[in-house]
Amino acid sequence: MDLAQAQELWNPEPGWLNTASYGLPPRPAWDALQQALGEWQVGRTSWEGWNAATDRSRTAFARLVGVPVADVCVGAGVSQLLAPIAAALPAGTTVLAPEEEFTSNLFPWLVHGDRGVRVRTVPAARLVESIDASTDLVAFSLVQSATGAVAEYEAVVAAARDHGALVVVDATQGCGWLPFDAGLADAVVVGAYKWLMAPRGAAFGYLAPALRDRLTPLAAGWYAGDDPHGSYYGPPLRLAADARRFDLSPAWFSFVGAAPALELIAEIGLPAIHAHNVNLANSFLTGLGQPPGNSAIVTVDVPDAQQRLAAAGIRAAVRAGHLRASFHLYTTPTDITQALTALT
């Protein structure tokens, strides 16, 4: 399916420039969720069919980020997926992170300060040059939430490897429009309700085997079992050998909506989505007399921007004092024209 065909699967109200806050579901995801909710309402079926969407989602995510499906765990949110990594850090560990990092990738490290885990922050633009012999783990976002700045992913990884440091990436604001190889990092976590356009409550984590073997699955339950359906009751402990031992019991309906959305992204292809999103973002920047960039998320300073956009029915966001606009599959040139008219 090409991008033009795929765009027929959305019918958004004009002016949605806020996917960095939440994504809009394609029709197959919406329809699957409505069907499941209807089944739940009247007790028409058992839950196993809803649960099957979890493995479909896991497989589609692994394909999108280029890693083996056995290395992917599922959960509910970014900080929950990071928690076992943070808990495994020994006292005296130094974590390096951008000072403007979204706190779901800061608080999991900071809460271990009382046992000697130190978090050092620097401006995101100086992250690569700040990695040194004292750095044990580098935690950063692939794309910054507040600014849309795209990290120098491969350069960060290379610098970290030079100093023997782990690399942990929050790809929530990039996965779904920005092609990248998750396998370069030690861990990659993604909240799926933004650019992957899933219901909130679905999240994915890539855990490299070498890191995974150092971690304790602190939230292990029946779904982390080697055979989940044989793990309902009683000892002994019998966890999955792969990343599934870090699974949370899934929020069924979140994954029912996630599976069709992720499969559609994979069918369209990230290169086409990336080109579409960045081209629209750059059209917006050019219309405001700004230089083009390389991100689907842009921030601008325009007096009374949020009020002017709201008056025109355009929905965007304000982050760190700047207007933040974000552009995805369902964004159209008409959305850009309307936004620019309101702002200029």
pLDDT digits (tens, 9 = 90+) for 97-137: 999 999 999 999 999 999 999 999 999 999 999 999 999 99
pLDDT above 80 for 211? yes
Q: Output the domain CATH number for residue 11.
A: 3.90.1150.10
Q: 241, 266, 291: which is the final residue of a domain?
A: 266
Average pLDDT of the segment spanning 52-73: 98
Residue type present at position 167: V
What residue numbers bound the domain in which 209 lies?
48-266
Average pLDDT over the chain, rounded to an integer: 96
Residue 245 belongs to domain with CATH number: 3.40.640.10
Confidence of residue 303 (pLDDT cuts 50, 70, 90): confident
pLDDT of 277 reads 98
Give the pLDDT mean for 129-149. 97
**Cα-based torsion angle of the residue sequence 292, 297, 301, 302 in order, rounded to the nearest 10 degrees:** 90
Calculate mean pLDDT across residues 83-105: 98
Judge if 282 and 261 occupy the same domain.
no
Q: Is the pLDDT of residue 320 over 90?
A: no
Give me the number of domains the chain comprises.
2
- Let me know if residue 43 belongs to a domain: no
Last residue of a domain, one of 235, 266, 297: 266
Please report the pLDDT score of residue 250 as a whole number: 97
Q: Assess if residue 36 is contained within a domain.
A: no
Q: What percent of the chain has pLDDT over 70?
A: 100
Same domain, 136 and 284: no
Q: 248 and 331 in one domain?
A: no
Predicted local distance difference test score (pLDDT) of residue 322: 86
CA distance 181 to 179: 7
DSSP lists the bridge partners of residue 319 as 322
Query: Are 176 and 265 a contacting pair, CB within 8 Å?
Result: yes
- Is the domain of 150 the same as that of 262? yes
Residue 38 lies in a domain: no
Note whether 221 and 136 are same-domain residues. yes
Query: Can you give the pLDDT at residue 306?
Result: 85
Structural domain ending residue among the three candidates 238, 266, 294: 266
pLDDT in tens, 228-258: 999 999 999 999 999 999 999 999 999 999 9
Rounded mean pLDDT of 74-82? 98
Residue 93 pLDDT grade (very low, low, confident, very high; cuts 50, 70, 90): very high
Tell me whether residue 32 is in a domain.
Answer: no
Whether 216 has a pLDDT exceeding 80, the answer reads yes
In a domain, 319, yes or no: yes
Contact of 293 with 282, CB cutoff 8 Å: yes
**Same structural domain, 308 and 214:** no
Query: Residues 173, 176, 181, CA angle at the centre, nearest 5°?
Result: 90
Q: What is the pLDDT of residue 77?
A: 97
For residue 220, tell me if it sits in a domain.
Answer: yes
